[in-house]
Structure 1
């Protein structure tokens, strides 16, 4: 379905779009247990019939503010929550230029990464409601906001029905939203460098979700196929998906503590243990750190120690948009190759080696030449390679057929080229059965999983390898896609090899940065779109920036705090460039008002005018350096107020806390 053509047709004919491919009918909801949960008189209505002034998307909302409906898809909402930390990716999935006013025709569209390609899914805005006019599936806390309900409808259409969203994994939704590659870490067997992995994931373009232990379930008598949710005594929900929204190393009286911030996609029901909202542990921090990190709100978001996180959660899912997450080799270009394939009964469905059927060689084979990279910081004899295998069901409905057990073996041998005579190297001919009886795979202990995607990170010597994807049992049919990420490689047998280069930026690796060092870094950085201007952050400006972000009062910024600053600077630069319509390198009063609004922050005209006097030159012109100092102060002070207020109107502070917040900032 072509969204633009359908929209123009509806506007021309002055009619509202009706999607016959996913009709406002019970068939779009499904055929299973979900039907028993529906209200008696289910109706389908458009947002204009539900609210006098419906809004598609509220850009100024910092939290997701979506509520789970009758569909048990906490995994979908947890992934969506993670997406909101990357507004550019969210805008790619949820095109922002849609509304219920301008060019409204009852049609909306969303984009998902679907087995190797981005697909545009079109839906009408007829949504299922009960007799009271309340949405029965995903809804927003703000009753006039409808992007979440429409996105869920598009995702249900992509996978067959709302019923097909009942069971799923955070990892699957994360890939569908980003096209990234997944890494699953079983927390009971987590690597020693778990905190390092979390740190690199947080400050790179990665999204994270996790899941609690199943606990003891109590099956419902009326709905035998639906298991009821159990809230544990510690406040966690058993068998539930959560979003990882941040990490923080704090300085306690007894030493440093690593904290993980999580969010329940329900927007309520929180952890009650150490570092929860009411925990005594917060008293062990400096007043400023406590104020800016602790939130005494029942909003579903909470902190816990890394130790408790490993105990109470089963899996950590990291969707990497930067495949170098595990290698610490950032700031480099990566190559990405994708190949579609199929296991066909009697032809290419050879099954795994474990079945000893002699047909393993029949599986599809991919020849991978891993090439050394001269600018690598690491040993030239070790290349980081990520390989991902994803199965694709033939059924339109994602939950109608169970996942097959899939995996892949990777082969390499110093004498491998002897098995590649010229006719093999230059043709698509497979390696003979004898090769696999004489050679051991690199990943000898490969486990076959009944999951949609299986991913493995390798550190390989440069050379020629063979990838053999297979199902566990022979003669099982399915389509699949194979993806390979590395710094440099060649997939010799791919006829249609799609390549993409992924670029990542590298930031300073100094462990602690003082004001003088910060000034040198900011003034010597190559700022995009600012080549014609000489940026000049003064020492006073850098001291002010440092004071705002230095939560543990050390007089320096940790690399973690610097990365927070760096992300904000890039955002401010984008806003500043957009607001500087005269291209003067400064913002006048009118442009400043517009720029502040663009950030999603609401300030009165009076405050904006005062800030122009405080931060501007004699002509009330604001430079980029001044704009940065101004916006950081607005954000930090706003965050402090929101964390402290109980009623949204005022706050209570002890004198020492007041002095800390106002003087050292």
Structure 2
């Protein structure tokens, strides 16, 4: 399993971000467990937590109060049972039962965590009991907003008049780790009522500090099963969400409730599924062929799937006796198998929680790096909203990301796998009083602004498109996105969907090798563009002085002057115009057939080239230095020229390379031909002829040689000649 090393961002971080680690977590409300324990033991008094009192205010103030019985009491476990136990070593993850709070998302994630002993021990510290050093105090650890937090609670639990727990309980009446853990989490979130309405991914994040990825199963990738196998192999936690129905309801775009009832395919019998299953995968060979199976566990046990590959399914008869004995369990224990196809049909989404450095085993493997930056969206200042708000988007926080070449890039040639996580912090003490904003992130490749350490100006975002072509905004606590980026410089823009929405956030980046730092304050578009403008002025000055000595220039001189321009289109490699391309350009502009250009003709050409360069950079999304068909269509349409798809294919054949992609040099030749010769009409009329022969008034035997057949594969040449 890969190791991860932690960095706080740039070379000189402004602040220490990680104030709470697993070994030394931050104390919630400055309550130190060991100090409070020793004080209670010394005074021979059971601990009373005034920070989370045994009152209705700790339960809530809304709908949950209406579910409570007339009489609510708070009692310690010793008042409820004779021999209370904190934890059994052979305790089952099916022991816990949901109470009045609609927090199945919390219990489902907790059931998943119990399958990972190391993670479970981090959340539920051992050496706590009702026997040795008992003082009515317990503590638990959660990952909150970039740090581990230690939460202290007393063991007074709300019960009805009969002594029955109102919230989470265990099937073993004397087992209390579950109810106490729920109380600690309620304290962290504000109240028991704040545990209502949630998703499995949120609790998994709080239990692990990992990075969540959600896959909508309606749009599941073709390699979903392989993704699940890799996730299981890497030790990731997984859970899934059922479709709405039964007791479930949808509020604010989030599925709630504890089960859904449906019919299994073709059988007519009912089955009951509960969201949040730990998952494992297996490939089996049947008489009818290979099938990919997924094993699911119902955290509450007993209710299972009744379709194909269920306990009593005839599908098992297609396996060998040995495989059936190993895999098939006919008892109602909450564990069952499904085919990957049924899994995609019966569930809404799959959540994969990838683990962070604290919980990652230190086995031999290649090192990964985690960088983390904290930030804040401030109304009127740094809360600029999404890209459609062109006047304010550039004001959002900007983070410079430099991708360094990794040691292992076997799958994606020359690219690096990068995972970016954006996590927002609740603005209120009570979790449900601070619903999450719709948030998202965009990543831009930086070209001419690479050397600038200050914030990028508004102009950059007006003329640039992000690497992730579609930025999805989700009203969830965390948004993550996978990228495969070439080594180079990028800028990450986290934003809310609307301007002036205030919130703190954490930006985390995982990759083999990278550097992450925040761009400087006090954005200044003038300063950012100053070096570029100075360079352009210098070039134009040189050209003006050259024309003072040479009123008319020939093709060779045109090539020399054009190559003085900074036509950078990819990887900072300047574009060089060939002599053949300059002859084609000369043919378009030399209306007098003199073979030369004067200063006015050249000046008009120079302005056109600058315009083409801006369009090329905006439409070359991956900064490869080439335009594919979709990029080319966007570029041509910017000039107000509309062509059918048939003509774009012909253009790619005429002006593209062997991969039908067009570089900047040929893009210039194409745009000049369309603009000067009358746009699409002339293009349709002349497309069958070589580019150099379609100049005004010249035949195919013109003194300007063709650019048409350069670097063409023989098959393409034969196609074009016909």
Task: State the shift of 1:289 in Å.
Answer: 2.0
Distance in 1 separating the partners of 2:79 and 2:325 = 43
2:469 matched residue in structure 1: 444
Whether 1:107 aligns to 2:137 is yes
Tell me, yes or no, if the aligned pair for 1:174 and 1:180 is still in contact at 8 Å.
yes
CA distance in 2, matches of 1:261, 1:69: 27
Q: Does 1:369 align with 2:402?
A: yes
> CA RMSD, aligned part only?
2.3
Separation in 2, partners of 1:307, 1:203 = 21
Paired position in structure 1 for 2:228: 198
Pick which of 155-164 and 281-290 moved more.
Answer: 281-290
2:328 is aligned with 1:294: yes
Task: Report if the CA contact (8 A) 1:76-1:170 is conserved.
Answer: yes
Q: Are positions 1:410 and 2:435 aligned together?
A: no
Q: 1:27 to 1:53 in 2, by over 3 A?
A: same
2:625 matched residue in structure 1: none
Question: Quick one: which of 269, 275, 281 aligns to 2:303?
Answer: 269
Q: What secondary structure does 1:16 align onto?
A: coil
Q: Partners of 1:83 and 1:186 in 2: how far apart?
A: 22
Residues 492-527 of structure 1: per-residue CA shift (max 9 Å, x gap): 3389xxxxxxxxxxxxxxxxxxxxxxxxxxxxxxxx
- The correspondence of residues 477-516 of structure 1 with structure 2, limited to 5 A, is 477-493=502-518
The 5-angstrom pairing of residues 223-372 of structure 1 reads 230-234=260-264, 235-237=270-272, 240-321=274-355, 331-356=365-390, 358-372=391-405
Matched, 1:89 2:119: yes
Question: Deviation of residue 420 (structure 1)?
Answer: 4.1
Preserved CA contact (<8 Å) 1:370 1:490? yes
Q: Deviations over 1:140-191 (max 9, x none)?
A: 1211111111111111110011111111000011111001101111111111
Q: Which residue of 1 aligns with 2:499?
A: 474
2:356, 2:340 → 1: CA distance?
23
Tell me the residue number matched to 1:538: none
- Which residue pairs with 1:147 in the alignment? 177
Matching residue within 427, 430, 454 for 1:394: 427
**CA 1:311–1:472: 2 relative to 1, 3 Å:** same
Change (3 A) 1:187 1:226: closer
Alignment-derived partner of residue 693 in structure 2: none
Give me the whole-angstrom Cα distance separating, in 1, the residues matched to 2:261 and 2:158: 28
CA contact (8 A) 1:248 1:260 kept: yes
Cα distance in 1 between the residues matched to 2:256 and 2:399: 42
* Aligned counterpart, 1:122: 152
CA-CA distance at 1:278 after TM superposition: 2.1
Deviation of 1:305 after TM superposition, in Å, equals: 1.1
Relative to the length of structure 1, the TM-score reads 0.69
Q: 1:169 maps to which residue?
A: 199
**Contact 2:246 2:261 survives alignment (8 Å):** no
**Residues 108 and 218 from structure 1, CA distance in 2 versus in 1: closer, same or farther, beyond 3 angstroms?**
closer
Shift of 1:49: 1.3
Question: In the alignment, is residue 381 of structure 1 matched against residue 414 of structure 2?
Answer: yes
Q: 2:241 aligns to what SS in structure 1?
A: strand
Q: 1:494 to 1:301 in 2, by over 3 A?
A: farther
Q: State how 1:604-615 maps to structure 2 within 5 Å.
A: none
2:80 counterpart (46, 50, 54): 50
CA contact 1:187–1:315 (8 Å) conserved in 2: yes
For residues 2 and 448 of structure 1, the distance between their equivalents in structure 2, rounded to whole angstroms, comes to 39
Alignment partners' CA distance in 1, 2:449 and 2:516: 17
Q: Give the distance between the partners of 1:396 and 1:138, measured in 2 at CA.
A: 23
Structure 2 unaligned blocks of 5 or more: 1-30, 265-269, 358-363, 521-722
- 1:609-624 matches, within 5 Å, as none
Contact 2:102/2:258 (<8 A) preserved = no
- Whether the 8 Å contact between 1:244 and 1:260 is mirrored in structure 2 is no
Does the CA-based 8 Å contact 1:67-1:265 persist in structure 2? Answer: no
Whether the aligned pair in 2 keeps the contact of 1:339 and 1:494 (CA below 8 Å) is: no
User: What is the number of equivalent residue pairs in this alignment?
Assistant: 476
Kindly name which structure, 1 or 2, has the bigger radius of gyration based on alpha carbons.
2
Offset of 1:67 from its aligned partner? 1.3
Alignment partner, residue 558 of structure 1: none
Which secondary structure state, in structure 2, belongs to the residue aligned with residue 242 of structure 1? coil
Task: Give the aligned partner of residue 7 of structure 2.
Answer: none
Per-residue deviation, 1:380: 5.8
Kindly indicate whether the alpha-carbon contact (under 8 Å) linking 1:387 and 1:456 is maintained by their aligned counterparts in 2.
Answer: yes
Contact 2:368 2:510 in 1 (8 A): yes
CA offset digits 1:40-81 (Å, max 9, x no partner): 222111111122111111122353421111111111111111
> Please, which moves more after superposition, 243-252 or 395-404?
243-252
| Structure 1 residue 30, shift from structure 2 partner | 0.7
User: Secondary structure, in 3 states, of the residue corresponding to 1:389?
Assistant: strand
Contact 1:78-1:243 at 8 Å conserved across structures: yes
3-state SS of paired residue (2:276): strand
Separation of aligned partners in 1, 2:307 and 2:412: 44
Helix, strand or coil at the partner of 1:368: strand
Q: Contact 1:175–1:319 (CA<8 Å) still a contact in 2?
A: yes
Cα distance, 1:99 vs structure 2 = 0.6
- Structure 1 pair 405/237, CA: closer, same or farther in 2 (3 Å)? farther
1:182 pairs, out of 201, 212, 224, with 212
